Every structure is written in C-alpha cells, then in structure tokens.
Structure 1
Amino acid sequence: MGQCQSNPSSNSGTDDRPESLEIKIEDSISSNPNAPSSPKKEDTIKVLKGWATLGEEANAKMDYSTALHYFYMAMEGFKKIHGADSTFYIELEFLIATAKDELGRCAEALTLYQDVLSKQERIFGPDDERTLTTLNNTAWVLYENKRYEDSKAHYEKCLERKIRIFGENHNSTITTMNSLGNLYLDGFKNYPLAITYKTRALKSLSTFLGPQHPVTLSTIMNVAIITSCFTEDVMKARDLFKQALKGYEEQLGKGHNMTKTCAGNYKVFLEEHPKVKGARAELKKIKKDYP
C-alpha cells in the first residue's frame, strides 16, 4: 500500500475520469472494420470489458495512474448500461479504491471503499467473500487515515464473520487477526493486546501451514521481537527466538538469509539480556555458527 498523501484534498480524483465517454466508445468500435454503423449494446460491453482488462494489466505493472484511467472509463460505461449497483460497476469501484490506496490517496480510497461496502452488504450480503474483502480493506484504510477506533471496529466485525464462516485456522481469518495485532502494536501502542492477537494468529498458522513453515517461523520471530521489546517476559522471548532459529536451521539451513536474520536478532537479544538463563552459552554458540 502507498503512503498516505499529507494533503489528500489537493487531488480530488476528477482527473482520473474520462472527458467524453461516448466518443471514446464510438471510436473504439469504429476502429473495427466489421463493426456495424450503430453500435449494439453487446459491442459496447465488449469495449468496456476491454478497458477493464487494460486497467488490470496496468495495475499488475503497478502503473496505477493508467489503471485508474481505464477503470474509470469502464466503470462509467457500465453505469450507463447497468447502473451503479451492477456487479461490474461495484467490482470496478473496488479496483479504483485499491489503486488510489496504492497511490497514497487514502481519503479518496476510503470514500470509495465505504460506498462499495454499503452496496455489497445490501446486494451480496454481509457474509459474502467480496464483502469481507472490502470490509478488511476499509479497516486498513481507516488505519492509514489514523482513525484507529473505526479501524478496530471494522477489523473486529470482519474477524467475527470470518471465524464464523471459515474458522480460526483459515488464511483469510489469520490475515485479519494479524492486522488487528498490527493495529494494537503501531496504532494504539497496546503491546499486551498486540501480542495476544499475534500469538493467536501464530497458533492458527501452526495449524494451517505447520509449525515449521517459513511463514510460521517468521511470525514466531516477530512475536519474539515484540515480546522482548515491549514486555518484561524475557524468558518467553528467549524461548520464541530459540524456536524460530531451530526451525529455520532445520528447514532452510544455516546459510539462508532468513536464518541469518533470525540468528542476528537472537544475538542482539542475548547481548541486551546477559542475565537470561543460558544466555552466555547461547551467545557463544551463535557467534561461532554465525561469525
């Protein structure tokens, strides 16, 4: 996600919209020598879908300004044909919100996400996967806009629905758990609750991917760092560092960059907490294995 612009009001988003949609559609159809003199509805829809595809291709290349141009042309066209509550319109509005967030235009992205969310809850239902994705993204953009209480409310609502629908050990559920942990860590500075959600996500990851999966090991290391920096539970931090390093060594080997990173973090922890049980021996071993 892009970094939020300090003055989002300076970019209203109107520059992304096509100036003359009718002319652009007619030009696109008339460029086909086999096209009829009067464009049919199906020909227009084909052009609009083509623009949407061009937008997705630009999006994949991180050319978000170009993506917005094509997404807006397609969206305005579908609005004229099917209305603003059509599936195509809603999908394109979601893509526009995502592209604007990537460009750091968080306030605009938030307005669009909120509109999409309102429509999806009404049309698809609150438990639809598309609705849940937008709910999660809205929570993220609220966080970017430093509206932490609103972000928390959206994340909690999203987590409750995902647990009920997918269960605790589903990838989508784990993502939202982890996001709540980040919100408490970086937004509220509530480190005990951050660790609670991170540990909860870790438990689910261990079940979903396995305790030795690199993603699980990375989460273990992150929880160890948070625990060591923001709590006095140094023994728990030590055990987590040891667990992560052992897993990395067994799964990736001592020469892997992630293993070296984990060893470096553990080394710093041991140097800062020399009185932790076994610290001297552990530090000696790490310095030998990772000179």
Structure 2
Amino acid sequence: MNRQALEGYEKALGKEHPDTLTSVGNLASVLRDQGRYKEAEEINRRALEGRGKAMGKEHPDTLTSVNNLASVLGYQGKYEEAEEMNQRALEGREKALGEEHPSTLTSVSNLALVLQDQGKYKEAEQINRRALEGYKKALGKEHPDTLTSVDNLALVLGYQGKYEEAEQINRRALEGREKALGKEHPDTLTSVSNLALVLVYQGKYKEAEQINQRALEGIEKALGKEHPSTLTSVSNLALVLRD
C-alpha cells in the first residue's frame, strides 16, 4: 500500500513534494519494522535529503527523518553515526518544539537507546529517566509511549546489575502493555522478552524459560520466523536453556 501511494504521489506531485516525501518516510518505516534495515536506510536517506532541501534542516518533518534514519542506523550497529543523528534531532526538536513535547521525548528515548547499545549505561539511565518523567506528564502513565519508556529504563537497569528494580519495572511495563495493546502485540512481546532476560540475570531460569517460550511463539506468529526480533528471541531461549 505504501509503494502504491508513493508511486501515485510521484506521478501527481513530483518526487520532491512534501506529501511524496512523507510517503517515502512511511515506506522506510514499514521496511524497518520488517527488519529490512539496509533498504530502509537508503529510503530514509532519500526522505531526509528531500525534506532538508524542500523544508530546511530545522523543520519538524526534516527532524523526523533524522530521527528515523538514526533508528535504522542503530539497528545495523552503526552506533556512532546513530548517536550523532539522534543528538541533531534532539537539539532541533528542543529548539522547535520545546523540551516536553512528545516528539522531543521520542528523540530523548532514541538517544538513550543508542547510548545503551554502546555500553554507556549510566548516561543512558539518566536520559531514560528524563524521557519517562516527560511521557508520564505529557501522555499519562498508561500511554504506549510511556510504557515503551518504562521498558527501556528497565533494560538499562538490568545491564547495570540493578536486577530487582529492573524486574519490578519490567513487570509494570508488561502489565500495562497487555492491558493497552493485548497479549499478542509485538510491543507486549518485547516486554515479555525483556522480563525473561532480567529473570535470567537473577538465576530464575525456569520462569525465564517459560516466558521466553511465550515470547518466541508470539513473535514468530506476529513477525515470521526470519525476522530479526524472532531470531533474537530464539537466541535468548537458547541462552536460558544453556544456563
């Protein structure tokens, strides 16, 4: 459907029209969600270049493209470039939208994730706490974006060995996502996987195995056997079986 929309926009409005570039960005997002990161990166770069030219580097839509490109770079392990892009998006959104705007908080969360991926856990924890407080204030405790922030904070706490707090927060995120999104939603299954991981860290292997099995079955059903998230779940289950 995105490809059909993009083709129509290009024909009717031209390749550089803002609506065409929105369609480009949408296609890149769905490719990213399927784990097709290289293709998503190429299309995100097209969207970013076009929006920068048409709207300027500081326009909110341009900064969205910066954020999206940073995300897909992070998924490919290109952490330094992803961090630079996230910093650019965050500074631009703080200036244009303010520090408490949900889009700004998305940039805060994304920066925390790429810092976490580089092992900068203390800094990532501080930034995650900022994002979480902002989301609770702006969107409420049960909003999906808030719960994503809860999950992110739990993950970085686990990496630092703060297992009991991480488990409590993971259970909160999982309960909220089950209620808001349902038990089979991919974001809910991410919370399931994260809870299993922190249980492993604490040596609670039997419960971790059961929860990993639930995560794997759900992710295979939702995303397919070859999706990167499915393969991560397979690896996680193998680790707990080994332990």
* Normalised-by-shorter TM-score class: 0.5 to 0.7
| Consecutive unaligned residues in structure 1, runs of 5 or more | 1-30, 36-41, 249-264, 269-291
Partner of 1:190: 162
**Cα deviation per residue 1:55-93 (whole Å; 9 max; x = unaligned)?**
643553354434434433443343344321112321221
Superposition map of 1:119-198 within 5 A: 119-185=92-158, 187-198=159-170
Partner of 2:30: 60
Partner of 1:19: none
Deviation at 1:113, TM superposition (A): 0.8
- 8 Å CA contact 2:151–2:191 kept in 1: the answer is no
Deviation at 1:209, TM superposition (A): 6.0
Q: Which moved more, 1:146-155 or 1:75-84?
A: 75-84
- 8 Å CA contact 2:151–2:173 kept in 1: the answer is yes
- 8 Å CA contact 1:135–1:158 kept in 2: the answer is yes
Which of the two has greater helix per residue?
A: 2
One-letter amino acid matched to 1:192 = E
- 8 Å CA contact 1:97–1:112 kept in 2: the answer is yes
Q: Distance in 1 between matches of 2:74 and 2:190?
A: 27
One-letter amino acid matched to 1:164 = K
- TM-score by length of structure 1 reads 0.55
Higher Cα Rg, which structure: 1
Q: Distance in 2 between matches of 1:193 and 1:205?
A: 18
Change (3 A) 1:109 1:226: closer
Q: Distance in 2 between matches of 1:225 and 1:88?
A: 36
Change (3 A) 1:164 1:56: closer
Point out 4+ residue stretches in structure 1 off by more than 4 angstroms.
Answer: 205-210, 213-229
Q: Distance in 1 between matches of 2:166 and 2:155?
A: 7
Change (3 A) 1:225 1:105: closer
Partner of 1:23: none
Change (3 A) 1:71 1:147: same
2:74 corresponds to 1:104: no
Percent identity between matched residues is 23
- TM-score by length of structure 2 reads 0.64
